[in-house]
Amino acid sequence: MTKKMQRYSFSILALLTAFCILKQFNVFAKTGTVVKNTGVRHTICTSLSSQANAYYRDNNAAFSTISKLKGGNSNCLTTVDSALFDELHDLMDETMTTTVSYSSLTTHWVKTDANNGSSNACLFYSDFVSSGYNREHVWPKSHASFKEKNGGCDPHHLRPTNTTINSTRGNLIMGNVRNLGETYKTKDNGGKTVLYYTNSLVEVNDNIKGDVARIFLYVYCRWEERNLFMNYSSAKPGPSDDKNDGGKVIESLDTLLQWCKMDPVDTWEMSRNDQCENLVGNRNVFIDYPEYAWLLFGKSVPTNMTTPSGEAKKGNSGNNQGGNTSTNTSTNTSTNTSTNTSTNTSSNTSTNTSINTSTNTSNNVSTNNSADNLSGNHSNATSNNSSTITDNGNIGGIDNKPQNSGKPYDPNNIGGQQVQTDGEEYVLQTWAIVAIVAGAVVIVAGIVSIIIIKKRKS
């Protein structure tokens, strides 16, 4: 009896030891345990996380398959009826297996919104770590069919913000304020300007714009809020809500896509997506595959865009044959330098004529002129990106700083983009698991040897 007890004791001890070691290395994180976000703000993400790959594999949702579905057009009110919209909505809806309460969000943000494993959350818009914050509906609740339920307590959507910044942002429409040539106000936080706003529009810093665009796309698709960049007169309040005016949340489709491209997904966004999946089960597909933003509205995916999957640079634009049926006319002409020249002209049904001409040369000078006749908003933006730094006083200037590849992260580099592949993290984790398993085998072998020796002696 004593020998049996010894054997059981050794076995239990070995299992407990292995479990503790595996737990220490967060090997069980992908089964639903939320851990600290170890991603870094503004360090460009150049690969999907292993957890992201598993999500699309396990749900039979390969990009190569879904991207071939027909998207909609430049009308966000009707794009919700497209095959691609339905597929992306169903994926994010059906895999969201649990929810969290509105009040509990602040406790989760300490982990999901930590920056590089920080002890507290990184404030959205303000872009620095702080212990004081409140809950921000990035998609304003007055423009939505939710308040504090459904999309109103979705951790993919709500973010921690400084109270004053949250109040100033209000329910203003996101848009390009600094290129209007009009007087605007600013709001500072943490020693830097965070918001630029008028009575109707608000603009965030360039290195936050991609985050905003991808959150808007998620809410539009997951929670079926039609009024993304067009007003929706038939909008209705949802649970616990008393108001939904159906007002658009961003000024135009052009601005939405511009912001999504100019501020690429960083390793922090990817890691946050992992932790939100651990928390509620689903992912924001527009973080993993920003390419869907273009395909959803029948646009060609830019081939000079950096995305986690790299599908954009591969030229895998899927089936973006959605026709433009809105009543506006837009002409987009971009001139870049390079040795190849490509012209893409498309005429679509209805009264809309869309001409896209791109000539790639080598100067990186781009001019975008867009008109949204349905909403009555007109935006004209001209940017000259030749690896120069433009300051916030340059109205309409892009304040992205040059990429500092290979240099340590500097929190004072507001617009900086540092390139680092997050694939290294998962390679290290794999080797750690191999080492742990090998160690466990050695421990078990040792225990077995001790038992055999004791048996022989007896």
Write the pLDDT tens digit of every residue in 374-410.
Answer: 333 333 333 333 333 233 333 333 333 333 333 333 3
**For the chain, which residues score pLDDT lower than 50?**
1, 21-31, 322-432
CA-CA distance, 144 to 24, in Å (whole number)?
41
CA torsion sign for 420, 426, 429, 431 is negative
Residue 201 lies in a domain: yes
The structure tokens listed for 213 are 């665009």
How many structural domains is the chain composed of? 2
Q: Are residues 1 and 68 in the same domain?
A: no
Is there a domain that residue 371 lies in? no
**176, part of any domain:** yes
Say whether both 184 and 108 belong to one domain: yes
Domain for residue 216, yes or no?
Answer: yes
Give the pLDDT confidence score for residue 2 in this predicted structure: 55
Rounded to whole angstroms, the Cα distance separating 345 from 288 reads 29
pTM for the structure as a whole: 0.67
174 and 216 fall within a common domain = yes
Both 230 and 263 in one domain: the answer is: yes
Residue 141 sits in the same domain as residue 225: yes
Q: 207 and 161: one domain?
A: yes
Report yes or no on 204 lying in a domain: yes
Same domain for 46 and 32: no
Does one domain contain both 314 and 441?
A: no
User: Is the residue at 369 inside a domain?
Assistant: no
User: What residues contact residue 273 under an 8 Å CB cut-off, 6+ apart?
Assistant: 49, 52, 156, 283, 284, 287, 288
On whether both 26 and 141 belong to a single domain, the answer is no
Q: Are residues 452 and 381 in the same domain?
A: no
In this structure, the answer to whether residues 49 and 33 fall within a common structural domain is: no
pLDDT score of 422: 32
Q: Which domain holds residue 438?
A: 1-39+432-458
One domain for residues 302 and 445: no
Is 146 part of any domain? yes
The answer to whether 231 and 375 have CB atoms below 8 angstroms apart is yes
Tell me the one-letter amino acid at 376.
Answer: G
Is there a domain that residue 64 lies in? yes
